[in-house]
Structure 1
Amino acid sequence: MLSKRQLLVLQVIIDEFITNAQPIGSRAISKKDDVSFSSATIRNEMADLEDMGFIEKTHSSSGRVPSEKGYRFYVDHLLSPFSLSDTELDVISDAFDKDMLEFERVVQKSAMVLSELTNYTSIILGPEVFETKLKQLQIISLSPTTAVAILVTNTGHVEHRSFNVPKEISARDLEKMVNILNERLSGVPIIKLQERLQTEVASLIKGYTDDFETAYHYLKGALFEEHPVKLYIGGKTNILMQPEFKDVEKIRSLYSIIEQEDLIADLLRTESDGIKVSIGQENKLAAMQGCSLITASYTLGDQQMGTMALLGPTRMEYSRVISLLNVLSRHMTRTFHSWY
């Protein structure tokens, strides 16, 4: 159990290091307005905090820096609510333009706003298209041998897929199939489309097409192509500009991870609801263990979950970042619920 004096010293060390990225010594701490005890007393408290693993001594200075254990204690016990400025709140609010009705545009703008307000790397994972519901399907002939399938989901996601059209499928058959699909599959979760196509729609299509096998194979290709990860990243290079990341190999390893969108998406999918802070070694990916990752969840429509995150150094502005993520996630949830 830390004493009140130790708590104050620890908070000053962490607050100063977050701001300046420089080790802090007892003399600098003693000059703070809210510190009323001597440098000698502070040195004793710092020695105890170091013995307990909350702070560390650097090789290049007699000052101390927070350890990962210190940051964890700070996040869990010492954070105060952070009041965002009117300017910051206006920037976030402006990201949700009432005329901007496409999911992708809202999320891209949100990722950009987060990275610009923090100078960290922002990552937003959208609800996967396979977790959403089909709203409308269109298949448009581009030529006698090519067409494009347009899938629109209840989340506002629009997917375009181009295909070669077998000569056995006539324009008339194509139109009939689209009408049947929209009538029978609208509102069906996309993850269940293949099952519904097989159990309910196939027999109807069979009665309306001249070459059922070819048409059925074509529809499966149009509807069940593997879907890419929907990951939106803002300020991808911001994390690399922090003073902690001067080692070339460290930078290369971290940047390589950021480039692997499938890996990052899998990481974000495992995060729990609400706000979660992972510090240093708490991160599952080795390349990220010199960083902190703060995630927040948002919901879209029928409780479909997405995740937003900020990746930065362990000396992150935790209180401010958590406030930003809370405000932005509420905006996203409110906006998407109003759509659907």
Structure 2
Amino acid sequence: MLTDRQRLILATIIRDYAKTGKAVGSKTLLGELDLTVSSATVRNEMALLEELGLLQKEHTSSGRVPSQRGYRYYVDELMHQHHLSKVVQQSLERVFNRNFQEIDDLMQTMVDELASLTGYTVVALKPESADIRLSGFRLVPINGQQIMAIIVTNDGQVTSQSFRLPEGTSVRYLDDMVDYINRTLVNQPIIEVLRTLTGDLPWQMERTIRTPVAFLQLFGDVLARSIHDNVFIGGYLNVLDFTVDSSLQDVKQLYQLLDSAQDMRRVVGTANDGVIVQIGDENGNDLLSPYSLVSATYRVAQYGVGAIAILGPTSMRYADMVSLVDAFRSALSQQLLEYYR
């Protein structure tokens, strides 16, 4: 159990170190705090905090820096969530008080805005839903033998892919197939349509249509992409600003981790509704042990669970990050719910 003075000293060291990145000494603390004690008394308090594992001493300085345990104590016991500043409110308005055509557009705008606000790297995942359905499929001629396959799903997502028809083949050759797909597969869940493609659909189509196998494979590829769990990253290069003693290989593997929706869902989790702060080794992944992750899931009724996470140094401004993640995930959840309606 820390005394009020020890709590004040620890919180001040954490705040100052987040601002400057430099060890904090007793003289600096006396200059900032209204303490009627000597510099020696403050040094003694700092030494006690070090014995408790909440501070650690840098070899190049007589000052102290927070330890991972110190950050955890601060987050659990001392941190107070901040009110949103005018800058943050304006940022929320820029992202959410605008028209957008696709969810991907909104998601990317949001992570870019958060990365700009924080200077850190931001990762977001769309709601994971098993009920996305096929709304329509069409082929659009582009130029010569180039064709664009377009799939629309019931969540408003438009997925497209271009391909080239064999010489001598007209897009009209595929009209019957497109019509068959739209008559028999529209309004079915994408997952079921993908199963049908590997089941009896080819046989059913071959009874009335000369089916190019390559086209069915293309259709399946575009379908799979339409429900792919995209990862949206803002401030992709910001992580390089706070990467400490990491090899190029470690940084490469870190980027691969951030790009993987499956891995990020595992790191962030989906069981908690509040904002979660994971510090250093608490991330459960060696690649993330030099960093802190402030994350939260957001729920869109009937459409699944998504996530937002801010990756930064262990010396990040925790109270600010928690407030930002909480505000953005609430606004995003509401915006997506209105969009789906």
TM-score range, shorter chain: 0.7 to 0.9
Q: Does 1:221 align with 2:243?
A: no
Match of 1:330 in 2: 330
Q: Does 1:269 align with 2:265?
A: yes
Cα displacement string for residues 47-104 of structure 1 (whole angstroms, at most 9, x for unaligned residues)? 2211111110100111110000111111122110111212221112211243212112
Cα distance change, pair 101–162 in 1 and its aligned pair in 2 (3 A)? closer
* CA distance, structure 1, for counterparts of residue 26 and residue 307 of structure 2: 41
Contact map agreement 2:231 2:259 (CA 8 A) in 1: no
* CA distance, structure 2, for counterparts of residue 301 and residue 136 of structure 1: 24
Instruction: Return 82-91 or 29-38, whichever deviates more.
Output: 29-38
In structure 2, the residue corresponding to 1:308 is in which secondary structure? strand
* CA distance, structure 2, for counterparts of residue 140 and residue 254 of structure 1: 44
* CA distance, structure 2, for counterparts of residue 58 and residue 51 of structure 1: 14
Structure 2 unaligned regions, length at least 5:
none
Contact map agreement 2:123 2:258 (CA 8 A) in 1: no
Match of 1:134 in 2: 134
> 1:219 Cα shift?
2.1
* CA distance, structure 1, for counterparts of residue 127 and residue 81 of structure 2: 29
Aligned residues: 333
Cα distance change, pair 237–202 in 1 and its aligned pair in 2 (3 A)? closer
* CA distance, structure 2, for counterparts of residue 236 and residue 303 of structure 1: 28
| CA RMSD across the alignment | 3.0
Q: Does 1:156 align with 2:152?
A: no
In structure 1, the residue corresponding to 2:156 is in which secondary structure? coil
Match of 1:120 in 2: 120
Contact map agreement 1:127 1:304 (CA 8 A) in 2: yes
Match of 1:4 in 2: 4
Structure 1 unaligned regions, length at least 5:
none
> 1:147 Cα shift?
3.0
Contact map agreement 1:258 1:264 (CA 8 A) in 2: no
Match of 1:99 in 2: 99
In structure 2, the residue corresponding to 1:195 is in which secondary structure? helix
> 1:186 Cα shift?
3.0
Cα displacement string for residues 124-173 of structure 1 (whole angstroms, at most 9, x for unaligned residues)? 23346977332322223457855322112233332212334468987556
In structure 1, the residue corresponding to 2:96 is in which secondary structure? coil
> 1:323 Cα shift?
0.8
In structure 2, the residue corresponding to 1:260 is in which secondary structure? helix
TM-score by length of 1: 0.85
In structure 2, the residue corresponding to 1:156 is in which secondary structure? coil
> In percent, how many aligned pairs have the same letter?
32
Instruction: Return 185-194 or 31-40, whichever deviates more.
Output: 31-40
TM-score by length of 2: 0.85
Contact map agreement 1:152 1:159 (CA 8 A) in 2: yes
Instruction: Return 20-29 or 125-134, whichever deviates more.
Output: 125-134
